[in-house]
Amino acid sequence: MLRAIFAFYLAVSSSLNAAPLKNSDFMKLTNGQRHWWYAGAYTLAGHVVLLEDEAKSQCVWDWFYKEPEKRKNQLEKTFVAYPDHTPTSIVIALLRKDCDVFAK
């Protein structure tokens, strides 16, 4: 169920734009726009994971919100390093690595 909900989110969020938002495009957004993207992405991811595992959902929320400036810097360095990827793919990869969520 968790995978289905997250897949639906990814499909809808990507299909709303003519082309997916690439990291290079994301970095052109203002700090305020990026802030709200982060807030939405991590809140949604935390809620999706909560449906399956409360402890892992806490990891997702803590991952970003305990040290938001550190995480924003980490994310933005990664976005610059991978300009043709999407921000969502980077978020999923980092959460998969650090919180053991969204595994195949």
Does this model's pTM top 0.85? My answer is: no
- DSSP secondary structure code for residue 28 in this structure: T
For the chain, where are the alpha helices, taking DSSP H only? 2-15, 23-26, 31-50, 54-65, 68-81, 87-99
- What is the residue-averaged pLDDT of the chain? 87
Mean pLDDT on 86-96? 95
Q: What is the pLDDT of residues 1-28, one digit of tens each?
A: 556 555 555 555 555 556 889 999 999 9
Q: What is the pLDDT of residues 34-53, one digit of tens each?
A: 999 999 999 999 999 999 99
Mean pLDDT on 73-101? 95
Neighbours of 42 (CB within 10 A): 20
Scanning the structure block, which residue is given the tokens 């919100």?
65
